[in-house]
Structure 1
Amino acid sequence: MGLVAEFEIRCDGLPLVTVAAAVPDATVLIDLQFAHGRRPLFIATVSGATPHTVETALDDATAVGEWTLIGRAGDASRYQVTPALSFEEQLGDHVDDLAGLETLAAAEAIVERIEVEPDGWRQTGWFADREAFDAFSTFWQRNARFRLHRLTHDGTPEPPGDGLTDRQHEALRAAYEMGYFEIPREASLEEVAAELGVAASSVSERLRRAQTQLIEETVAPTWPPIPDQRA
């Protein structure tokens, strides 16, 4: 039976990490287009930062060759990014076992989600079996800081909230513990933001995204549909 794993790889040599570091309040999600040879293209979706800030970070990233804006929707911008270096070239100073890195590319695994953070990647992946996962995790344990968050058999339902990012978890927890959700409210948005050390607008966005995610996981899938009270 296959496995689903959620994990983080802390290595500042991974692609687009310098971009995420330049826009620390943003959410940066990428898809790899492996059909493009040793320098796979990236499709990067960035939200929570102004386009100018993101595009300046792309221009400044030495590992980015070219980038093209694909489109925008709401506060999210999507880019096609051509790397200036191959994976092996970019990670050469960080990974000792480059042959092992090439072997991972042929592993029986599919990376479903990659969130780029200022010091590494947070990923969700599907692995054919335990052997495939062990080969992957062992490689990164030897070459970077690897932390496993969740490992389940495919088909196992996720508990509500597993789709939240670390920042959304942190914002929800801080807001809850400080009494932001109490009636009457015991803490303001500005006080929660001060506790987290970020702007109030960033906290507001994280809370809204987290609440939307939880609604989509719990209330929205309810069947039968909620009756229309206006009818």
Structure 2
Amino acid sequence: MGLIAEYEITCEHLPLVAIAGDVPEATLDIELQPNHGNHPPFIVHATHETPASIEQAFESSSFVAEHTLVGQAGETCQYQVLPALGIEAQLGEQIEDLSELRALATTDSIIERIRVTPTGWIQSGWFRDRAVLDEFRTFWQRNGEFTLRRLTYDGEAEEAGDGLTDHQREALRIAYEMGHFDIPRTATLDEVAAELGITASSLSERLRRAQTHLIETTVASTWPPLPQ
């Protein structure tokens, strides 16, 4: 039976980690485009209330050769980022055996999501079995740090809330603790936003996106369908 795993790789030399450090309040999710030669582009989904901060970080990064805004929805901007050097070139002095890094790309696994943090990457994906997952674990234990965050078997239901961004989870928690969801309400949107240090409109969007995700992964997926 296959495995679904989420794990954290601690390695400050991974691509775009320095940008996450420059703009720590942003959420950065990336997709790799592997079939594009030695310098494959990255698709970067960047969520921040001031996109200019992300673009300034791109422009000051030695890793980024060119970035293009492809689209925007609310606080989330999608960029195509062309690197100035390949992943192997960036990691060359940090990895003991680059052939082992290339071999990970050929394992029976599918990496669905990569989140960039100021200290490394958080990856989640599907793995044929524990032996395949252990290949990732042993490689990154030798070349950085590997921390398993979540592990389930293929077909097991995920816990409610899986898939929320860190900012969405924090917004829900603070709003709940301050009484924003109480009846009657004891904390306004402006008060919760001030606690989080963001605008009320940004908080409203985060709460709506978080609530939509929770609905989609719980009651909206009920089968058979709820009565009309």
Pick which of 161-170 and 132-141 moved more: 161-170
Does residue 52 of structure 1 match 2:52? yes
* CA-atom RMSD in angstroms: 2.4
Give the whole-Å Cα distance in 1 for the aligned partners of 2:106 and 2:158: 28
- Write out per-residue CA displacement over residues 49-103 of structure 1, whole angstroms, 9 at most, x where no aligned residue: 3332222221111101122222233433222111111112212344334332222
The offset of 1:107, in angstroms, is 2.0
Question: What aligned pairs does 1:1-231 form with structure 2 within 5 A after superposition?
Answer: 1-189=1-189, 192-193=192-193, 196=196, 198-201=197-200, 202-222=202-222, 223-225=224-226, 227=228
Amino acid at match of 1:65: A
Amino acid at match of 1:59: E
Contact 1:189 1:200 in 2 (8 A): no
* Corresponding residue SS for 2:220: coil
Q: 1:62 to 1:166 in 2, by over 3 A?
A: same
Give the whole-Å Cα distance in 1 for the aligned partners of 2:221 and 2:181: 24
Contact 1:23 1:49 in 2 (8 A): no
The offset of 1:209, in angstroms, is 2.3
Contact 1:97 1:143 in 2 (8 A): no
Pick which of 215-224 and 58-67 moved more: 215-224
Contact 1:62 1:84 in 2 (8 A): yes
Pick which of 136-145 and 21-30 moved more: 21-30
Q: 1:218 to 1:13 in 2, by over 3 A?
A: same
Give % identity. 56
Amino acid at match of 1:100: E
The offset of 1:3, in angstroms, is 1.1
Q: TM-score, normalised by structure 1?
A: 0.85
Contact 1:4 1:154 in 2 (8 A): yes
Amino acid at match of 1:170: E
Q: 1:96 to 1:25 in 2, by over 3 A?
A: same
The offset of 1:203, in angstroms, is 4.3
Contact 1:42 1:81 in 2 (8 A): yes
The offset of 1:193, in angstroms, is 4.9
Amino acid at match of 1:143: N
* Corresponding residue SS for 1:158: coil
Give the whole-Å Cα distance in 2 for the aligned partners of 1:74 and 1:26: 14
Amino acid at match of 1:207: L
The offset of 1:33, in angstroms, is 0.7
Give the whole-Å Cα distance in 2 for the aligned partners of 1:7 and 1:226: 39
Q: Unpaired segments of 5 or more residues in structure 2?
A: none
Contact 1:112 1:126 in 2 (8 A): yes
Q: 1:224 to 1:140 in 2, by over 3 A?
A: same
Q: 1:7 to 1:190 in 2, by over 3 A?
A: farther
* Corresponding residue SS for 1:39: coil
* Corresponding residue SS for 2:214: helix
The offset of 1:186, in angstroms, is 3.5
Q: Unpaired segments of 5 or more residues in structure 1?
A: none
Amino acid at match of 1:96: E
* Corresponding residue SS for 1:136: helix
The offset of 1:111, in angstroms, is 0.5
Amino acid at match of 2:78: R
Give the whole-Å Cα distance in 1 for the aligned partners of 2:35 and 2:165: 28
